[in-house]
């Protein structure tokens, strides 16, 4: 039926007389009714095709972002051949959280894993990378200091292309007074939100390209105040240190099931451990 409609539209557009009709009886234009029919059909087709195309593009970008998590996991597991996950500076701090090898070992083996850093999406501001959030979202399993003291974690992050994250966390914890200095791999600038002064920090080259993990997006912002935060967590595969394999999981801090990996409306589950996505 659709093919017949399109054929008729083609005949209309060609302005040729249909078969069996003399040219003097064939009008050379559309009536208002015919135009309305064309517009309705185009709207119906666009209402189906455009959302599907948009979802397809976003889903493809999400898969590319997921590959970056696998790249990070693989970099960490390569580093395991030469280093130790507990090769951290026990005196290093990050936003007031002091490194502790005992806690770090315990948290890596937990179901949740240990939080290494957080990204914040905002409906008006650019993406923000940080160590932890205010007291409402304090994460007891946070060990961002692992990325500020050098060693195993910093080297692996740089190997995977996530070096800017380690640089940002170091800069945020080594402020010049209340000022965060921009660096070669990242930018830092002040903003005023609800009358309060805050700092935004993000890599100069975006790590992610999907709307789900980068920048303002109505599909990504579900938390109160037009913002959401995502924890990047590391854990032993199936919580077993003897696996000698680490996994990377993203968990939402607002608006989703906080105990499961962040899963988008398009069905992308941001976890390198497939069993967690079931």
Convert the pLDDT of each residue in 78-134 to its tens digit.
Answer: 999 988 998 888 887 777 778 888 889 999 999 889 999 999 988 778 899 988 765
Please give the pLDDT value at position 68.
96
**Any idea which residue has 């951290």 for tokens?**
88
Name which of 213, 190, 248 is nearest 71 in CA terms: 248
**What is residue 181's DSSP assignment?**
P
Q: Helix axis angle, 32-79 relative to 2-14, nearest 10°? A: 120
**Residue 195: CB atoms within 10 Å:** 5
Q: What is the mean pLDDT of the chain?
A: 80
pLDDT of 143 strictly over 90? no
Question: Considering the entire predicted model, what is its pTM?
Answer: 0.77
CA 101 to CA 84: how far, in whole Å? 11
Name which of 141, 139, 79 is nearest 108 in CA terms: 141
CA 95 to CA 103: how far, in whole Å? 17
Token pair for 59:
């889903």
Q: Which residues pair with 188 in a beta bridge?
A: 201
When comparing pLDDT for 216 and 53, which is higher? 53
pLDDT of 218 strictly over 50? no
How long is the chain? 278
Which helix (H) or strand (E) segment holds residue 45: the answer is helix 32-79
The arithmetic mean of pLDDT across residues 127-145, rounded, is 72
**Residue 217: CB atoms within 10 Å:** 15
Name which of 214, 271, 237 is nearest 70 in CA terms: 271
Range among 28-42, 129-143, 170-184, 255-269 rated most confident: 170-184
């Amino acid at each position: 039926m659709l093919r017949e409609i399109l054929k008729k539209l083609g005949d209309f557009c060609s302005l040729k007389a249909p078969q069996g009709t003399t040219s003097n009886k064939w009008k050379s234009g559309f009536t208002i009714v015919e135009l309305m029919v064309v517009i309705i059909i185009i709207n119906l087709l666009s209402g189906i095709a455009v959302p599907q195309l948009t979802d397809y593009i976003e889903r493809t970008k999400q898969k590319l972002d997921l590959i970056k998590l696998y790249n990070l996991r693989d970099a960490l597991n390569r580093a395991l051949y030469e280093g130790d996950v507990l090769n951290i500076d026990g005196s290093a701090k990050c936003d007031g959280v002091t490194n502790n090898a005992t806690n770090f070992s315990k948290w890596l083996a937990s179901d949740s894993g240990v939080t290494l850093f957080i990204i914040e999406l905002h409906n008006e501001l650019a993406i923000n990378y940080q160590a932890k959030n205010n007291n409402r979202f304090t994460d007891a399993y946070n060990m961002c200091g692992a990325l500020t003291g050098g060693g195993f974690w910093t080297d692996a992050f740089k190997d995977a292309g996530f070096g800017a994250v380690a640089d940002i966390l170091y800069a945020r914890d080594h402020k010049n007074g209340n000022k965060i200095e921009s660096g070669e791999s990242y930018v830092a600038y002040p903003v005023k939100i609800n009358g309060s002064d805050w700092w935004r920090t993000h890599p100069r080259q975006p790590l992610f390209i999907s709307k789900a993990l980068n920048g303002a997006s109505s599909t990504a912002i579900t938390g109160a105040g037009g913002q959401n935060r995502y924890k990047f967590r590391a854990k032993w595969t199936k919580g077993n240190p003897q696996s000698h394999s680490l996994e990377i999981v993203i968990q939402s801090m607002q608006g989703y099931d906080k105990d499961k990996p962040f899963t988008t409306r398009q069905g992308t589950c941001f976890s390198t451990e497939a069993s967690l996505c079931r």
